[in-house]
Structure 1
Amino acid sequence: MAIDPSADRPVYKQLADLIRARIEQGELRPGQRLPAESDYVAEFGISRDSVRRAMAVLRGEGLIITQLRGSRVRDAGEAAIVSITQGTSLMARMPTEPERKQLGIAEGIPILVITTPDGETRLLPADQTIIEVGDQD
């Protein structure tokens, strides 16, 4: 698959599509590091900004995790499963800078704010959290 700068679809979305397909086809496996930004720039002749935007799309979809030393395919087992019950509120929002640092998440990743009926609040990275709704009985 090639990236076509003259296509109607933005270049960063084309790159995200290409990487997503490689993950879905098993060419990039869970835990495997993705090529460096500079590798994508050289391979496809696109800007570093386009690569970063593509990575942000894939992080938002929960397919990759970006840390100090680059990005890697997220292992499905890395997501925390959180059960909520009736009366618990759930809200997604962008974190403040201190919250982002505390949770160790990259820019552009939303957080989930979970507030239990007794007022306890938890902040969780949205790209690493699966919410299960408990029985309403």
Structure 2
Amino acid sequence: MINPEADRPVYKQLADIIREQIARGTLAPGHRVPAEMDYVQEHGISRDSVRRAMAVLRSEGLITTTARGSRVRPEQSRQSITIGPADRVTARMPNPEERLRLGVKEGIPVLVVEREGEEPQLLAADRTEIHGDAAGRALGESGRNDLG
């Protein structure tokens, strides 16, 4: 339920509701998200708030929007890579050319895999699984993130 008196902005509350529906499977991958006016009427909020919520979800890679409306992003097949102790993996946001080449939507980061003697490999972070010793060591022995 959206509370206009809450400290959290209305559009973020709506984004939370839709995100939860996606996580639970109420809004399944590939299915259409209700129209803006449906949310306006159901929650008694402005169309601008609905549009801002949709922008948040698009930036998180949860939905895609075309002229025909928004849909829950379909599940993608995953690429599995194995890295060794000397390999380095970093994450960053792609530039427009990289997004186009990889088919990465706005808000989805890329992984840069660097291996000695090879050109860096650029992979879509939402479609890549990393396996190997180096991935485990990046979190430290305790399993906590030691990077910051």
User: Which residue of structure 2 aligns with residue 66 of structure 1?
Assistant: 64
Q: State the match for 1:30 in structure 2.
A: 29
Alpha-carbon distance in 2 for matches of 1:83, 1:36: 42
The aligned residue for residue 102 of structure 1 is 101
Q: Distance in 2 between matches of 1:38 and 1:52?
A: 16
- Equivalent residues, number: 129
Q: Distance in 1 between matches of 2:121 and 2:35?
A: 33
Q: Which residue of 1 aligns with 2:140?
A: none
- Following superposition, the deviation at residue 36 of structure 1 comes to 4.5
CA distance in 2, matches of 1:109, 1:73: 12
Partner of 2:143: none
- Residues 39-87 of structure 1, C-alpha deviations (whole Å, 9 max, x = no match): 4455442421232123323x2xxxx252656332443x62322222221
Aligned residue for 1:50?
53
From the CA coordinates, give the structure whose radius of gyration is larger: 2
Aligned twin of 2:92: 93
RMSD of the alignment, in Å? 2.8
The TM-score, its normalising length taken from structure 2, stands at: 0.68
Amino acid at match of 2:64: T
Letter in 2 for 1:50: A
Q: Unpaired runs of 5+ in structure 2?
A: 137-148
Following superposition, the deviation at residue 88 of structure 1 comes to: 1.1
Kindly tell me: are residues 67 and 55 of structure 1, through their superposed partners in 2, closer, same or farther at Cα, counting changes over 3 Å?
closer
Change over 3 Å in CA distance of 1:21–1:104 after alignment to 2? same
CA shift, 1:37, in A, is 4.9
Between 120-129 and 64-73, report the one with greater CA deviation.
64-73
Deviation at 1:11, TM superposition (A): 2.8
TM-score, length-normalised on structure 1? 0.73
1 or 2 for the larger relative contact order (CA 8 Å, sep ≥6)?
Answer: 1
Identity among equivalent pairs (%): 42
Secondary structure at 1:78 match in 2: coil
